[in-house]
Structure 1
Amino acid sequence: MTTADSPARALPRTSENLLLHETGEGTTVQLAGIVKEFGATRVLHGVDLDIAPGEFVSLLGPSGCGKTTLLRILAGLEDSTDGTVSFDGKDVSRVPTNKRDIGMVFQSYSLFPHLRVLDNTAFGLRRRGIGAREAAKRAQDALELVGLGHLADRFPHQLSGGQQQRVALARALVTEPRVLLLDEPLSALDAKVRVQLRDEIRRIQLRLGITTVFVTHDQEEALAVSDRIAVMSAGRIEQIGTPGELYERPSSPEVAAFVGLSSVVPAVSDGAVARVWGLELPLLRPVDAGAVEIFVRPENVRLVTTAVPGIDATVQESTFLGSFRRTLVRTSDGEMITLQHPVGEAITYDDVVRVSIDPVPVLARVAS
């Protein structure tokens, strides 16, 4: 049953597929004070993270921020130096990976080349002592779930990269794990297939109601599929929140710079308001009075006439993106600013325009 505290499913369950029919409501996951050291180098600094049953949480950050190490600790593939991992309140920090009841999908497909798709999918069930007939039935159900039931008799080399990753996902789901872990599973795929499989993973996760942790460095992926996103930097969680919260109310310059696209514009602050180009912009968070830099989203920069407060600028490039254009300009102050505008506002290289900023709250940092 869906409650106010649990995510709604995209589609109802049916009794036709036993995998869907028998799946539970998800598992509570808690990471408390996770520290990881490799020799004298500390890569995780006391990370805390609570994940609700059935929630889809992404760990987002640049390479080297610690997100994959944190996922491996959650999976039991690495031991933490300090801290605990709990499932439904039970400490599993020293429980082996094969006893944690998790499903994991890696960047590489890791399929057995000599086994057919059905046998690859059923492999985990057979290792658990499930009979051949039942394992085949459940594997077929899992393949139907990912849209590959008709390819059960093929070998991995006869599949595309996207199809192979779907098989890897079916193999992870077929054992009905308590938690699903995804370690950059889409990074080896081309752009169109990535979007298709990304959306498919989210649809399946909602149908199963399975608690899921997804590691990615791609902000678009994280924003598109997550209930919440934990933005990581240098072994710490900078901010965790819904995609909307992170995009509209970043807690730090690091989050503002990493999530979404922003231009950094010099301004002057009185502590609560930033003044720039004859405009006054409210600040998301107070800063010390004086010279600051504000983070401005491209959709909040617009082309205006000389009657509106703003600044003159010269077009450096303009890119057609289907339903809108994204244009880079150099202001008369020498700053590079990106704006997003309707395709009907056609401007080209070296055009002189005037730009302004919508009066929305912005994040500021003291100028260095």
Structure 2
Amino acid sequence: MTIDAIDTDENALLAARGQGVPVAFQGVVKEFGSTRVLHGVDLDIRPGEFLSLLGPSGCGKTTLLRILAGLEQATSGVVRIDGADVSTVPTNRRDLGMVFQAYSLFPHLTVQQNAAFGLERRRVAKVEAARRALDALRLVGLEHLADRYPHQLSGGQQQRVALARAIVTEPRVLLLDEPLSALDAKVRVQLRDEIRALQLRLGITTVFVTHDQEEALAVSDRIAVMDAGRIEQIGTPEDLYLHPATPGVAAFVGLSSIVPAVARSGFVEVLGTRAPILGDAVDGSVEAFVRPENVRLGGSVLGTVVESTFLGSMRRSVVRVETADGSAALVRVQHAASERLEVGERVTLSVDAVPVVVRPRGA
């Protein structure tokens, strides 16, 4: 049974659905000794929003989540949940649900007992806790496994139990710290979609930490892209992909070829095409970030195929070309699966005249 098929009146968690609460970071700084890992982060998360913190390892996204959870203390700055300053409030009084990469289930407790654990810690009567735990398990599709133990479950099932345990207390905010990274690819896609569906039905404000851009793009209302302890850009998945504010965002969100080009007066000449520049205009020798879906087979630019990969509904090939200044570049092109290219084959390319991000060459 899918979550959409569950009757709201028959499930206490769905019946209690709210509109979510706002979360805010105001000038949050975090230092470990002499090393500053967060540089005055300001971030407003809307009620009921699914916001992802996206960035490479070491960018500060997990530290920011742990500060929200109360597992780390900010060096300075304020954290607010529903308008109240919780910067010094202990974790167990912040009313949060948390799911981490490690499932952290109690091996000696059944699935239902694991799901009910948070309720019993809050001194909810055992009968009521058991009933509400079954409601939570029903939402993640595991009520039929309530009497099993964690070692009898797959990785995906164990993470669903961890999710049920996180939502059973009806927290104000749900925190997800790379909860899918330990799962295989197919299960990861299935569970991420289930998490999103569950979040939408419950209306809970959710903060999701991931280094996987595909995950973030698939499930988020908005994404905050982080690098070196700062937020580089925040926006919808479409905004970040189509209008990256910086070369760093363009490089991290989506797939791009970095191609030598020449910029002048707000435009860039790249592989024979004059395209508008996204963001700050620069003049002179630059590198342009060209998306593979904006490159076409056929045109005036001659190149040699060095790689071609079949991806089911399409192919993605890499073509080595020589640019106008005599330098070489590897250009990815996305094309029909029926257009089979062989390594070493000579082809021609063209680039669509769509806006692109550029950076000074060698930056």
Coarse TM-score class (shorter-chain normalised): over 0.9
Is the CA contact 2:273–2:352 (under 8 Å) kept in the aligned structure 1?
A: no
5+ residue gaps, structure 1: 1-8
Q: How far is the alpha carbon of 1:23 from its aligned partner? A: 2.5
* Aligned pair partner of 2:133 in 125, 139, 146: 139
* Aligned pair partner of 1:186 in 180, 185, 193: 180
Change in Cα spacing, 1:115 to 1:236, as seen in structure 2 (3 Å) is same
- 1:311 aligns with 301
- 2:223 aligns with 229
* Aligned pair partner of 2:153 in 147, 150, 159: 159
- 2:111 aligns with 117
* Aligned pair partner of 1:175 in 169, 174, 185: 169
* Aligned pair partner of 1:327 in 310, 317, 320: 317
CA distance in 2: counterparts of 1:97 and 1:362, whole angstroms: 44
CA distance in 2: counterparts of 1:146 and 1:210, whole angstroms: 15
**Residue identity opposite 2:71 in structure 1:** L
- 1:104 aligns with 98
* Aligned pair partner of 2:337 in 331, 335, 343: 343
* Aligned pair partner of 2:144 in 147, 150, 158: 150
Cα deviation per residue 1:151-205 (whole Å; 9 max; x = unaligned)? Answer: 0000000000000000000000000000000000001000000001000000000
**Residue identity opposite 1:35 in structure 2:** V
Is the CA contact 1:10–1:206 (under 8 Å) kept in the aligned structure 2?
A: no
CA distance in 2: counterparts of 1:365 and 1:27, whole angstroms: 39
**Residue identity opposite 1:329 in structure 2:** V
Q: How far is the alpha carbon of 1:10 from its aligned partner? A: 7.0
Q: How far is the alpha carbon of 1:13 from its aligned partner? A: 6.4
Is the CA contact 1:271–1:286 (under 8 Å) kept in the aligned structure 2?
A: no
- 2:14 aligns with 20
Query: Which structure carries more strand by proportion?
Result: 2
Change in Cα spacing, 1:366 to 1:67, as seen in structure 2 (3 Å) is same
Question: Is 1:293–2:283 an aligned residue pair?
Answer: no
Q: How far is the alpha carbon of 1:367 from its aligned partner? A: 1.4
For the residue of structure 1 that corresponds to 2:10, the secondary structure is coil
For the residue of structure 2 that corresponds to 1:335, the secondary structure is strand
Is the CA contact 1:272–1:285 (under 8 Å) kept in the aligned structure 2?
A: no
- 2:43 aligns with 49
Following TM superposition, the consecutive aligned residue runs of length 4 or more in structure 1 with deviations greater than 4 angstroms are 9-13
**Residue identity opposite 1:231 in structure 2:** V
- 1:3 aligns with none
Change in Cα spacing, 1:10 to 1:211, as seen in structure 2 (3 Å) is farther
- 2:192 aligns with 198
The CA RMSD measured in Å over matched residues stands at 1.3
